[in-house]
Amino acid sequence: MTTLVFARDRRDSLLAGALPRFVAAGWVLFLGLPIAALLVRAATVGRFDDAAAGRAVLDALVLSLVTTATSLGLAVLFGLPVAWLLARRPPRGAVLLETLIDLPIVLPPSVAGLALLFVFGRQGVLGGPLAAMGLSIPFSTIAVIIAQTFVAAPFFIRAARAGLRSVHRDLEDAARVDGGGEVAVALFVTLPLAAPALAAGLVMAWARALGEFGATIMFAGNFEGRTQTLPLLVYSEFQASSDAAVVAASILVVAAFGVLLGVRLARRGSVTELGGTG
Amino acid sequence: MSVLVAASALLVAGCGHAAPATTLTVLAAASLRDAFRAAGTAYASTHPGVALTFSFDASSALRAQVEQGAPVDVFASADVANPDQLVNAGRTIGPATPFAGNALALIVPAANPAGIAAPADLARPGVALLTASANVPIAIYAMRVIANLAAEPGAPAGFAAAVERNTVSREDNAAAVVAKVVLGEADAAFVYATDARAAGAAVRSIPLPDRVNVTAAYAAVVARQAHDPAAAAAFVAWLAGADGRSVLAPFGFAPPP
C-alpha cells in the first residue's frame, strides 16, 4: 500500500515538475536556436560596408517604422469605437460582425493582398474611381499602410473588446452617481481600467504590422524607400545572396524582442503598482 | 474489423499503381511554368519510372535554394549566369546545359490605360512600370533592352533614368510582373515573349525592333545534392534534345542561342 502511494507520488512529481521542465527546455531550444543562429550569422558578417545595401536597410527600417506607426494610429482611430460598440452596445448580428472583424487574423496574408487589390487596385471597386481622380493606390506607401492596417487592426480590436468588456459596470455607475458624464466616465474610468488590455492589443497589432509580408508584396509591391519594408527587404536581399538580408533580419528580431520585453516589464511595473495601492 | 479490411484493401489498391521508381525535384524559372508542366507530362509518359515535381520562382531565388542545400535534382534557369555560378562553386554535377532561348516583349494591359504606342512612351512622366528585383534574370534582360533603346538614334534624352523613375515595383519574379500587368495595376512591363503570348488577349504587345531586343538563354544543371544524378542528367539531356525542344516550341521557346 505504502509503495503504491509512494509510486504515485513519484509519478505525480515527475508529471508536475521534471517532465514539463524537460519539454520546456526542448521548446526553448526550438525557438532559441534559429534566433541565435541568425544573430551569430549577423555578428560574423563583419563590417557591413556595402553602402547601397546599407542604405536599402536604413530606408526599409524607416519605412517600416513610419508605416507601422501610421497603421497603429488607424487601428486605434477606427478600432476603438468598433471595440466599444461590440463590448457595450452590441448591435443585432454582433456575432457575424465579430467573426468578420476576426477574419483577417485567420486569412493567409496573400489572400488579404489579393482581396485588397480587387478593392483598391486600379480596376478595383474603390481604386477604379480613385485612379480616375489621379490617385493610384497600388505600389504606394498608402498601400503598405492599408495592408498593415487590414491584417493588424483585428488584433487590437479583439484585445480592446475583451478589455472593455471586463471593466465592471458598477465602477462606471459609481462614477455616474458622482456626476460624471458619459464622456468623462469613458475617459477617466473605463479606458484607464481597460488600459492594460488596450496596450497588449497595441503590441500584438504592431508586431503583426511589422512582420507583414504577403499582403504587402501582393498589393503594395516591392520598391526601395516606397513599399519595401524590412520583411520584404529580407526576402529580396536573400535572393541576391546579400548580407543585407541577415542584417535586416537581425534588426527585426532585436526590435521585436525589445518591444515585447519592454511592454512586459512596463506592465509588470503597473501591476505591482496596483497591487501596492490596493 | 471491417475497417481493417477496408484499410488493407486500400493499401493493396495503392500498391497496385506502378509507383515511379524515382521522383526528380526540378526547380525552374517562373517563365517555364506552363512549358515545364507539359514537359513533365510528356516525360512521364515516355519514362514510366520517373516522376517530376516542380517548383517555380525567380531563377536567382532558386539558385539561392540550391546553394542552401535544398533537396534538388535539376535547376533550370532563365539565364546562364545563375547555373554557371553554381558550376563555378562546385555545387553541380557537370556543366550547365543550354536548352532554350527566349526574347523579350513590351506588354501593356489590354485597355492600355497610359496610351503607350511605342517604347519611347515609357519615359513619359506618370507611366507606372513594373520590373522584377534587380538580380532576377527578367530585370537584367529588361535593363539591357532599355539601354539599347536609350542608345537608339532619336531616343529621348535621359530615357533610361526616366524609365527607372517610372518603375513602381520590383516584383519577385517574371510571372508576378505579368500577373500585375494582366490585372491592369501597372501601365507596362518588359516580360518574356513566351509570357506575353500566354497572357493572350489580356495584354497587348508593343512592337520592339529586333535590333534592341535581347536573347535570353535558358540553361539547366544537375545539382550536386541530386539523389539520382543519372536520372537527373537524363532529364536534362532530354530537355536539350529534340524531344524537349518539340515540347517547349509550342509555348514559343526557341532553340538555345
In a domain, A180, yes or no: yes
Same domain, B96 and B118: no
Is B30 among the domain residues? yes
Q: Using one digit for the tens of pLDDT, what is the confidence trace for A29-43?
A: 999 999 999 999 888
Shared domain for B127 and B199, answered yes or no, is yes
- Mean pLDDT along residues A238-253: 84
Distance from the Cα of A242 to chain B's closest Cα (Å) equals 10
DSSP state of B79: S
> Higher pLDDT residue, A254 or A270?
A254
pLDDT the model gives residue A228: 94
Q: Flag whether residue A236 sits within 8 Å of chain B, measured between CB atoms.
A: yes
CB spacing of A236 vs B184 below 8 angstroms:
no
What would the mean pLDDT of A218-244 be, rounded to a whole number? 87
Mean pLDDT, range B243-250, rounded to an integer: 96
**Cα(A162)–Cα(A149) distance, rounded to whole angstroms?**
20
Across the interface, of A121, A224, A228, the residue whose CB is closest to B185 is A121
Asked if the structure places residue B115 within a domain, the reply is: yes
Model confidence pLDDT, tens digit, residues B65-110: 999 888 999 999 999 999 999 999 999 999 999 999 999 999 999 9
What confidence category does residue A106 fall into, taking pLDDT thresholds of 50, 70 and 90? Answer: very high
Percent of chain A with pLDDT over 70: 90
Instruction: Give the model's pLDDT for residue B253.
Output: 97
Say whether B169 and A222 touch across the interface (CB within 8 A).
yes
How far is Cα A119 from Cα A126, in angstroms, rounded to an integer? 6
* Residue A16: band (very low, low, confident or very high) from pLDDT cuts 50, 70, 90: confident
- Grid look-up 526540378 returns B26
Q: Does A239 touch chain B (CB under 8 A)?
A: yes
B58: which chain A residues are within 8 Å (Cβ-Cβ)?
239
The minimum CA-CA distance between A236 and chain B, rounded to whole Å, is 7
pLDDT at A155: 96
Is residue A68 situated within a structural domain?
A: no
B66 strand-pairing partners: none
Cβ distance B170 to A221 less than 8 Å, yes or no, reads yes
Which of B133, B140, B178, B182 to probe the A interface (max A CBs under 10 A)?
B133
Q: Which of B68, B79, B168, B173 is most worth mutating to test chain A (most A CB atoms within 10 A of its CB)?
A: B168
Q: How many domains does chain B contain in total?
A: 2
Chain B residues close to A138, C-beta within 8 Å: 168, 180, 185-186
The CATH number of the domain holding residue B180 is 3.40.190.10
Q: Please indicate, yes or no, if residue B41 is contained in any of the structural domains.
A: yes
- Here the CATH number for the domain that contains residue A86 is 1.10.3720.10
Provide the pLDDT for residue A6: 60
Distance from CA of B18 to the nearest CA of A (A): 37
**What average pLDDT does this structure show over A53-76?**
93
> Quick check: is B145 in a domain?
yes
Structurally, chain A folds into a number of domains equal to 1
* Residue A48 belongs to some domain of the structure: no
- Whether residue A277 is contained in a domain is answered as no
Rounded Cα distance, A139 and A218, in Å:
9
Contacts of B186 in chain A (CB under 8 A): 138-139
E strand or H helix at B88: helix B81-88
Nearest to B183 among A117, A235, A239 (CB): A117
- Average of pLDDT values for A65-86? 96
Domain assignment of residue A114, yes or no: yes
In a domain, A111, yes or no: yes
Predicted pLDDT of residue A42:
87
B151–chain A nearest CA distance, Å: 26
| pLDDT greater at residue A268 or residue A91 | A91
Q: For residue A84, what are the domain limits?
A: 75-227
Closest chain A residue by Cα to residue B63: A239
- The string of DSSP codes covering chain A is -HHHHHHHHHHHHIIIIIHHHHHHHHHHHHHHHHHHHHHHHHHHT-S---HHHHHHHHHHHHHHHHHHHHHHHHHHHHHHHHHHHHHHSPPTTHHHHHHHHHHHHHS-HHHHHHHHHHHHSTTSTTHHHHHHTT---TTSHHHHHHHHHHHHHHHHHHHHHHHHHTS-HHHHHHHHHTT--HHHHIIIIIHHHHHHHHHHHHHHHHHHHHH--HHHHHHT---TTTT--HHHHHHHHHHTT-HHHHHHHHHHHHHHHHHHHHHHHHHHHHHHHHHHH-
Predicted local confidence at residue A175, as pLDDT: 84
Name the closest residue on chain A to residue B64, using Cα atoms.
A239
B74 versus A264: the higher-pLDDT residue is B74
CA B70 to chain A, closest CA, distance in angstroms equals: 14
Determine whether the interchain pair A240/B167 forms a contact, defined as Cβ–Cβ distance below 8 Å: no
pLDDT of A131 above 90? no
Rounded-to-integer distance, Cα A138 and Cα B198, Å:
24
Per-residue pLDDT tens digits for A171-220:
888 888 888 788 888 888 888 989 889 988 999 999 999 999 999 999 99
* Residues from chain A contacting residue B64 (CB–CB below 8 Å): 238-239, 241
Is A159 domain-assigned? yes
Note whether residue B257 is domain-resident. no
Residue A269's pLDDT band, with cuts at 50, 70 and 90, is: low
What residues contact B176, with CB distance under 8 A and at least 6 apart? B30, B132
Instruction: Note down the domain range covering B231.
Output: 2-101+218-251
Is residue B65 a part of any domain in this protein?
Answer: yes
* Range with top average pLDDT, A106-110, A215-219, B137-141: B137-141
> Residue B19: pLDDT band by 50, 70, 90 thresholds?
low
Closest Cα in chain A to B170: A222
Within 8 A of B128 by CB-CB distance, chain A residues are 136, 139
Distance from CA of A163 to the nearest CA of B (A): 40
- Is the pLDDT confidence value at A7 over 80? no
- Tell me which residues of chain B have a C-beta less than 8 Å from any C-beta of chain A: 58, 60-61, 64, 67, 113, 128, 130, 133-136, 167-172, 180, 183-186
Among the partner residues B64, B169, B184, nearest to A238 by beta-carbon distance: B64
Which residues between 69 and 108 in chain A have a beta carbon less than 8 angstroms from any beta carbon of chain B? none
